[in-house]
Chains A and B, each alone.
Chain A
């Protein structure tokens, strides 16, 4: 009998009113977040999608893959991607290892306490000191009449420009980018190293592990994901950077963001659709990098809670 009453349509209709109530309440719930989603849609997602769609359209709006293919076939464009990727990759790798070394030194190296707070404060500032002023600082230091350049020339008789030094080379830009890459690494990785519990070292020692085994089997596996994740963040950070390089050489330097900048300013490639394709390529590269970043980040958080 109870079964029957449950299948009775009038009884089944009973739970419906609360459902209707929640369905009615739902829109008011959403009003609270609507401004955010409208803002994000209008000024972040749609403008990006507009470029992505444009990358696959010809001049008359027809679908085409020509723009994307031209990124590869046009040597000046593919070369700019290659240079950008090289600079971003190496500045991320070198910045990450240097930052890690500094972080380990101040957290685990037995240095006096002030080194840690001083380094962290400074890193917070330096990781945000990028763009044009950073370029000015390096020009004042290592430019043709920079302080260090002239000191090396007059005191040690070393002419770094005769030795082939130049900001506009890949290695020159990497050296400058490290000024914000290393501090960013320090800021992110110090909490991860702090998260290494003292008990793990003691447990490893109790089990007879050597210092090397402790590092290889405990420390590295635990900080590895957040290390790798930060490398990727640094990569994206350098890949989108434009102002520093622009201050050194204006539009002459052949890296992707500067190429896109010149294209936006004056259609130097004589094909507006190609600009969309360059932007699309940039999103794909930083997007791929960040997919990995999020993946590594969630993996590392499991351990560092």
Chain B
């Protein structure tokens, strides 16, 4: 047991070194722009760059629309599968796992060929159409995470009783989903939303191939042309990912643990 603990420490420390050295080195590197002293010059240049602001804003908006679309597609489906069509569950779960099987680049390649400007559904014929297609693509990428989060949330509430209670009070389907089910799984939905945000914000492949002015292609451009700014951007990106994950952890503390909890 003594030697077991020794090896456990060895593994832990070696692992910590592998993960922390690049992060610390990146922080250090990002502070070195001005010769001889540590400074926040790289951050100032990046944050002050109008292209940074424009592309970052674009990606934030894309992420928000992705989350809205994801919720609209996933919540009613997951609810309905639980309530009425449990026999469809394996099929729906299989479909939600497909984006893990089909690489993003293949999906977007399909979009480009299927929804080009000469196709019956010319998404790529206009700017707004291409923006919509990017949001749709992102929603597809986020589908596995969103569905799992919402389904886990639904598992902790008594869907049938809530639905029947709402129906007795005269609620229609829109009211049931929007004002009864959604608030009850809000924490799960928000977890899925923050994960979606973390995935979407710096996404490169889809944004670049659809020619969108998003944060990912901007990152690529800076990475190819600058020395210190990419390190600053990496630190910012890590902080964003960290922020999203922390929010998910904080939210999970408020989530109900089971449907039968005594209140």
> A residues engaging B (CB < 8 A)?
29-30, 32-33, 35-37, 39-40, 43-48, 50-51, 54, 98, 101-102, 104-106, 108-111, 115, 119, 121-122, 124-126, 128-129, 131-142, 145-148, 178-179, 182-183, 233, 236, 239-240, 242-243, 246-247, 250, 257, 260-261, 264-265, 275, 279, 282-283, 286-287, 290, 294
Contacts and interface: CB of A to CB of B under 8 A. Distances in A.
Nearest to A29: B84
Contacts of A283: 101-103, 106
19 contacts: A32-B84, A35-B76, A36-B77, A37-B95, A44-B98, A47-B109, A108-B4, A108-B8, A110-B4, A124-B249, A129-B237, A133-B202, A136-B219, A140-B22, A240-B105, A246-B220, A260-B106, A264-B209, A294-B97
Given A29-B85, A39-B73, A109-B4, A264 B109 contact: yes
Given A247-B220, A282-B103, 19 more contacts: A29-B84, A32-B76, A32-B79, A32-B173, A33-B88, A48-B106, A50-B110, A104-B8, A105-B11, A121-B246, A125-B241, A129-B238, A133-B238, A136-B234, A137-B26, A137-B231, A142-B22, A147-B28, A282-B106
Q: Which of B22, B80, B209 has the most CB of A within 10 A?
A: B22
A138 B22 CA distance: 6
Determine which residue in B29, B81, B173, B227 has the highest number of CB atoms from chain A within 10 A of its CB, and name it. Answer: B29
The 10 lowest CB-CB distance pairs between A and B, nearest first, are A109-B8, A47-B110, A240-B103, A32-B80, A140-B29, A133-B237, A147-B25, A36-B77, A136-B234, A136-B230
A47 B136 CA distance: 13
Contacts of B99: 44
A133 B101 CA distance: 24
A242 B204 contact: yes
Nearest to A40: B95
Nearest to A250: B224
B237 A36 contact: no
A110 B1 contact: yes
Given A33-B77, A286-B101, A109 B25 contact: no
Given A109-B7, A250-B224, A146 B76 contact: no
A147 B29 contact: yes
A106 B103 CA distance: 32
B198 interface: yes
Task: Report which residue of A47, A98, A138 has the largest number of chain B beta carbons within 10 angstroms of its beta carbon.
Answer: A47
Contacts of A233: 100
Q: What is the predominant secondary structure among interface residues of chain A facing chain B?
A: helix
B131 interface: no
A148 B74 CA distance: 45
Nearest to B28: A147
Given A36-B92, A109-B12, A110-B5, A48 B105 contact: no
Interface of B: 1, 4-5, 7-9, 11-12, 15, 18-19, 21-23, 25-26, 28-30, 72-74, 76-77, 79-81, 84-85, 88, 92, 95, 97-114, 136-137, 139-140, 143, 173, 195, 198-199, 202-205, 209, 216, 219-220, 223-224, 227, 230-231, 233-234, 237-238, 241-242, 244-246, 248-249
Which of A51, A125, A126, A140 is the most central at the interface, judged by chain B CB atoms within 10 Å of its CB? A140
A101 B14 CA distance: 11
Nearest to B19: A126
B15 A279 contact: no
A110 B8 contact: yes
A178 B14 CA distance: 14
A240 B100 CA distance: 9
A111 B8 contact: yes
Nearest to A100: B11
A246 B245 CA distance: 26
B81 A33 contact: yes
A265 B95 CA distance: 28
